Amino acid sequence: MDLHTGSLLWPNTFPEFPVYPVLESDIECEVLIIGGGSAGALMAYELTQHGVDTVLIDKRNISGGTSCANTGLLQFASDKHLTACMHTYGVDKGIRLYQLCKDAINELEQITSMLEIDSKFVRRSSLYFSSCQEHLPLLKAEFAALIELGIDAIYLEEEQISKLYSFRKSGAILSNNDAEVNPFRMVHALIHHANQKGMRVYEQTEVLRQSYKQNTIIFHLKNQRTIRARKAIFATGYETQSFKKNPNAVMSSSYVLATQPLSEFPGWPDRCLIWETARPYLYIRTTLDNRIIIGGLDEATKIPAERDARLLHKKDLLLLEIQKLFPGLPALKAEHYWAATFGGTHDGFPMFGPQAGYPHCYFILGYGGNGTVYNKIAAKIIAGLILNGSHPDAELFRFDRSPSSGV
C-alpha cells in the first residue's frame, strides 16, 4: 500500500537509526507482532517488560510506514469532543476515553525518559481555537466538560487571544500537559529497547498468509520461511483495511509541511500546539531545531494518485495558513512537505482487540488524530488480554461495539 509521498522530515533527524536483519530461517515465539510503527513499537515495549518471548517483523524497515509521516502531536483531546463522546457512548465511557488519553501521555513521558535513544519528548500546552463565531457555543460547552473532568485549562476570550497571540479568534481553550515528540525516533527507541531485552526484530520480512494447527498460528512469509506463534498482534495500521475491512474505518489523505529553521516565533507564546474546531482541522507545532510543522487540508480521497496530485497546491495553501496566523514571521519556505494516508472512525473511537476469522490474534487500529496516544492505550489493553485473559477497558474499544448497545 502506498502510504505517503514527498520529502519527509523525520528520517533526516536520525540518520544513524538501528537496522535489523531479514528473517532467513523458520522460528517460533510466544507472540508475533506484525508491524514496526508506533503501535508495534509500543506493544513490543509492553510485552518485553513482562518477559514475553516476542518477535516483531515489518515488511518495510522499522518506522517506514505512516509513523515516519506522523507529525508527533500528543494530545489528551480526541478529534471527537468530550461532549460528543459522552453523547454517543454515555458519560462514563466518554470520560474514560479522555482520562485514558491523559494517562497515556504521562506514561509516554515516563517511558521515553528511560530509553537509550532520545525521543525528543517535550511537554507543551495546546491552544484549541474556534474557527468561526458559530462554533463558540460548542467550544464553551466543551470547556465546561473538560473542567468537570479535571483538565488543567482556561478559556480565552477574543481580546485575551489578540493580546497573547499574533491573531484574533473569537474564543479558545488553552490547556496544559499535552506534548510533542519525534515519532521516528520514538519508534526506533522503543524497538531498540525491546530488542536489547531479548525481542527478535526482522525488517523486510513480509507475511503472505497464516494457517492454524491446534493452538499455534503458522505465518507463511514471502521468502518461504515460517513463524510459529501462540498469539499474534496485527499492528498494521491503515494497511489493515486491505485484508480485513472494518465498516467503522474512514480513510482519507492529509498534507504536511515543515519550514526552514527560524530564529524566533513572535506572537506564539511557549510555542504551544495549535489546532481548531473546523473539521478537517489545521494542526501546528514547532520542532526542537526551530521549524514549524503544519498539517491538515485533508481530502476524502484514499487513492494515492489523487492524493499526490494535490500535494504542491496543498503545500502553498499550508504556507499561507501559517503566514495568516503569524504575519510577523520572516519569509517562509517549505523545506519538507509530504502527503500521507490518514484513517479515522465513524464513531470517533479507535479499535483494539480480537476480530472474527483470526483466532488467537489481536488488532491495533489506533485510527484518528490521536493515533500514538491511542496505540499506547491499546498496548496496555492487549497485553492484559494476552497475559491475564481480560482488561477492564477492552470493551470500550472492541470492534463490534454499537452506540445503541451502550457499549
- pLDDT tens per residue, range 335-361: 999 999 999 999 999 999 999 999 999
What is the per-residue pLDDT across 187-215, written as a single tens digit (0 to 9) for each? 999 999 999 999 999 999 999 999 999 99
* φ/ψ of residue 13, rounded to 5: -85, -5
Q: Do residue 56 and residue 9 come from a single domain?
A: yes
Q: Is residue 159 located within the same domain as residue 39?
A: no
Vertex 281, ends 72 and 328: CA angle to 5°?
80
- Kindly state the percentage of the chain with pLDDT values over 90: 98
Whether 370 and 390 map to the same domain: the answer is yes
What pLDDT score was predicted for residue 402? 78
Q: In whole angstroms, what is the distance from residue 336 CA to residue 348 CA?
A: 30
Instruction: Specify whether 224 is located in the same domain as 195.
Output: yes
Residues 207, 355, single domain; the answer is: yes
- Domain closes at, from 312, 327, 345: 345
Same domain, 160 and 199: no
What integer pLDDT is reported at residue 403 of this predicted model? 65
Query: Would you say 355 and 399 are in contact if contact means Cβ atoms under 8 Å apart?
Result: yes
Q: Which of 330, 345, 360 is the last residue of a domain?
A: 345
How deeply is 15 buried, as exposed, middle or buried, from its count of CB atoms within 10 A (0-12, 13-18, 19+)?
exposed
CA–CA distance, 307 with 385 (Å, rounded to integer): 38
Question: Which pLDDT belongs to residue 244?
Answer: 97
Q: What Å distances lie between residue 393 and 95, 99, 162, 285, 396, CA to CA?
A: 12, 11, 42, 31, 6
Query: Are the beta carbons of 217 and 229 closer than 8 angstroms?
Result: yes
What is the chain's mean pLDDT, rounded? 97
For β-strands 273-276 and 283-286, DSSP reports them as antiparallel
What pLDDT digit, counting tens, does each position of 40-94 carry?
999 999 999 999 999 999 999 999 999 999 999 999 999 999 999 999 999 999 9
Q: How many CA atoms lie within 13 A of 353 on its CB side?
A: 18
From CA 311, how far away is CA 297, in angstroms rounded? 10
Mark which of 345, 360, 375 sits at the end of a domain.
345
For residue 147, what is the domain's CATH number?
3.30.9.10
Mean pLDDT confidence for 213-218: 96
Residue 403 phi/psi, 5-degree rounding, is -55, -40
- Which grid cell sits at 407? 457499549
289 and 278 belong to one structural domain: yes
- Grouping H, G, I as helix, E, B as strand and the rest as coil, residue 380 is helix
DSSP H/E element including 351: strand 351-353
4-51 confidence digits (pLDDT tens): 999 999 999 999 999 999 999 999 999 999 999 999 999 999 999 999
Rounded Cα gap, residues 99 and 85, in angstroms: 12
Average pLDDT over residues 313-326: 98
DSSP secondary structure of 33-102? EE--SHHHHHHHHHHHHTT--EEEE-SSSTT-SGGGG---EE-SS-SS-HHHHHHHH-HHHHHHHHHHHH
Residues 335 and 320 in one domain: yes
Mean pLDDT along residues 259-263: 98
Q: Which residues pair with 34 in a beta bridge?
A: 57, 234
Q: Does residue 407 surpass a pLDDT of 60?
A: no
Same domain, 204 and 264: no
pLDDT at residue 404 is higher than 70: no
State the residue range of the domain holding 57.
Answer: 4-70+184-247+348-396
Query: Which residue reads 526482522 in cell numbers?
Result: 202
Q: How confident is the model at residue 406 (pLDDT cuts 50, 70, 90)?
A: very low
| Residue 1, pLDDT score | 83
| 173 and 240 assigned to the same domain | no
Q: Are residues 31 and 155 in the same domain?
A: no
Query: Which band of pLDDT confidence, cut at 50, 70 and 90, is reported for residue 405?
Result: very low
- Number of separate domains in the chain: 2
Cell of 28: 517460533
β 122-129/273-276 pair status: parallel
- Prediction pTM value: 0.97
